[in-house]
Amino acid sequence: MESGAVGTCGNSPLSKGGMFLKGDPWRAVWGFVIHAALMLTVCRLGLVLWQWERVGTAGVALRILVSGLRMDLVMISYLVALPVVLAPFLNGFVRTHALWRFFSSVWLSASLCFLFFMEAATPFFISEYDTRPNRLFVEYLGYPKEIVTMLVTGYKAELLFGFVALGGILFFVRRIYPEMCRSRSSWGLLSRLLVTPLVALLVVAGARSSLGHRPANPSTVAFSTDHLLNSLSLSSGYALFYAIYGMSYETDASDIYGKMPVSRMLQLVRESATGNVGDFGDEAIPTAHELTTGLERTEPLNLVILLEESLGAEFVGRMGGLPLTPHLDALAEEGLFFDRLYATGTRSVRGIEAVTTGFFPTPGRSVVKLGKSQTNFFSLASFLKTKGYKTRFVYGGTANFDNMKSFFLGNGFDEVIEEKDYKTYRFKGSWGVSDEDLFTKAHEVLSADGETPSFTLVFSSSNHSPFEFPDGAIDLYEAPKATVNNAVKYADYALGRFFEMAKASRYWDRTLFLVVADHNSRVYGNSLVPIERFRIPALIIGPGVTPSVYGALASQADLPPTLLSLIGVSGKTPMIGRDLLNMPEGLVGRAVMQFYKNQAYMEGEHVVVLQPGKVHRQFRYDGIQLMEEALDPLLEEKALAHAQWASWSYSKGKYRLP
């Protein structure tokens, strides 16, 4: 025994098998590596079996399991890095062994519990978002009330299983790691100094998992156009940490999809917006241009936007979906219905971003949540305030969710009405009061308005998991009650009830209404971008709007300029969306869709998909599926220009009122 090292190896389970060098300082670490790798592999196998319909073949399953083990070792290597460095200097020495035992026992136990907790949470997350936990998991941690209520209400059995399983892993680590970490290394100082660099090199190699210039990352094991299958090759702990790491880099699309000169980017974006770059001349706000009204009004109309939660085309009868929206279908006969409108993203904040600001999506967070856009960022509210409008946001839940309240109040909204402002209500669920209560409140505030024109954004929430709504309100479409189909039917009922009240009101004849979805429900699929899941309904109804169907391709971001045109308000805006009722000749309909890190630019039936660090690909979309075709260089440039413009204009402060 050398240099103060104490005793020999204790009687840990690992010491009996002679699997490692006798008396080495890292025995507990090696035990953790085995436990973590086995646990993650078993959990992954369970997910593969659960999603077998998507996995499909034994070959794909094997690939996921092998790639998964590789990426698990990356995560495990990062977790053991600190114990590996400390072990040779603490384990086995008289004055430091107690410290080593305490630290290693706590560190390794906490690490295994964290890995298991993330795996236990994964089925919940996949059921809701069709992927492993990512940055959304982090964002939702800021709203514990809503999330806990949703889980308790909608996932009781899953929660019970999760708590039982977590209790089992806590029992395991409590029994195993304190005893494992009691083991004293018998190595002398010289042996430690000679072997430690080799062990450290092994950990670094495991963390990099690559001999190339860049270490392994999620794209290393990506093999499918199905995002879920690629995510199964990761552990949820790794997916979460990688998402957190990448959040600071996500807002610059040029770093993700490729760069182009700013001058060329602006040229293409301007041409796409109006067909004429001569319409733009303000270098301080390069996309600022004059928006003229499409209908002459003696006085501007009120504007009401009814933003419907998670209402995709597959739920709307007149769009070929399920017969769940009889009220919306009937209202569509009275106004302008958009049959080929596509959402810009898969989250509510994306819908809010597009509908209230006309901004196009980026691979990073929505501007609703980004720091530079909390003030002095263009919105319909800030623009209409300059025209003498009152502005308000009406919501049934807590308005700080997704940072809505801060963004709205900083960008032109005078008033925010939220859950605490409902003195009476019929029903309250996880996400606030019911849509009936929401629309009753909206009707009340609109009825109380005087002659001053107003802009009101109303955001529904009843059609959100766990799908809670009042008993007896509708004849259920199916059993049990708490399903998305029943919630959609209830949301449609509440919408119809609101329009009954509105038609009998004083404000009806001087108000333009937009009904539009924020996004579809549970957007997923086995395509790079599941285009069919981005199709959403939109209806404009009000004075002077001729009942008709707009059948050309359009984007959610085209709605704000179209609305301004219809209410009779003109002026300069930085929006690059189009007034769909006054489309310049020669322009083809287009839409931009953000799906995780992939962005699709669709023009007509042709779609360019941008992927991080990969060659851009082009497809033809026949309304059902994507079929790959040769890449059109100009279309590729347009796709890249729109992606880069959104990041550039945000970061440079170029999207604001003139």
The model's pLDDT over 315-331, given as tens digits with 9 standing for 90+, comes to: 999 999 999 999 999 99
The rounded mean pLDDT for the chain is 91
Residue 201 domain flag: yes
pLDDT at 104 over 60: yes
Same domain, 217 and 319: no
What is the DSSP track for 404-417?
Answer: HHHHHHHTT--EEE
- Is residue 483 in a domain? no
> In terms of residue numbers, what domain contains 397?
273-469+491-541+551-579
Please say which residue of 194, 226, 244 terminates a domain. 244
Residue 139 has what pLDDT? Answer: 77
Same domain membership, residue 307 and residue 237 = no
- Nearest Cα neighbor of 395 from 447, 348, 330, 357 is 348
Residue 110 and residue 66 share a domain: yes
| Distance set, CA 75 to CA 89, 106, 117, 135, 216 (Å) | 24, 18, 15, 17, 11
Considering the domain architecture, whether residues 226 and 290 belong to the same structural domain is answered as: no
CA distances from 560 to 97, 200, 337, 564, 612 (A): 67, 57, 15, 6, 30
Same-domain check for residues 374 and 434? yes
Question: If you average pLDDT over residues 392-405, what whole number do you get?
Answer: 91
> What's the angle, vertex CA 539, arms to CA 343 and CA 440, rounded to 5?
105
Q: Are residues 239 and 99 in the same domain?
A: yes
Average pLDDT over residues 301-325: 97
Token digits of residue 458:
């109303």
Number of domains in the chain: 2
The amino acid at residue 628 is E
What one-character DSSP code corresponds to residue 558? G
Mean pLDDT within 418-444: 96
Q: What pTM value is reported for the model?
A: 0.80
CATH number assigned to the domain comprising residue 413: 3.40.720.10
Q: What is the mean pLDDT of residues 407-421?
A: 93
Residue 559 is assigned to a structural domain of this protein: yes
Rounded distance between C-alpha atoms, residue 392 and residue 305, angstroms = 11
* pLDDT-wise least confident of 147-156, 319-328, 597-606: 147-156
Rounded-to-integer distance, Cα 136 and Cα 24, Å: 42
pLDDT tens-digit map of 174-207: 899 988 888 899 898 899 999 999 999 999 999 9
What percent of the chain shows pLDDT beyond 70? 95
Q: What is the DSSP letter of 607?
A: E
Structural domain includes residue 516: yes
Q: Is residue 224 part of a domain?
A: yes
Q: Which residues pair with 606 in a beta bridge?
A: 603, 620
The verdict on residue 452 lying in a domain is yes
* Together in a domain, 31 and 163: yes
Residue with tokens 């409008």: 389
Residues 137 and 191 in one domain: yes
Other residues' Cβ atoms within 10 Å of the Cβ of residue 423: 6
Kindly give the residue spans of alpha helices, DSSP state H, lying in 377-483: 380-385, 404-410, 435-448
Quick one: 151 and 280 in the same domain? Answer: no
Residue 402 located in a structural domain: yes
Asked whether residue 143 falls in the same domain as residue 290, the answer is no
Instruction: Examine the domain organization and report whether 225 and 340 are in the same domain.
Output: no
Q: What does each C-alpha distance from 580 to 24, 302, 357, 563 come to in angstroms?
A: 72, 20, 16, 9
Indicate whether 619 belongs to any domain.
Answer: no
Cα distance between residue 21 and residue 456, in whole Å: 71
Question: Do 137 and 38 lie in a common domain?
Answer: yes
Q: What mean pLDDT comes out for the span 55-77?
A: 96
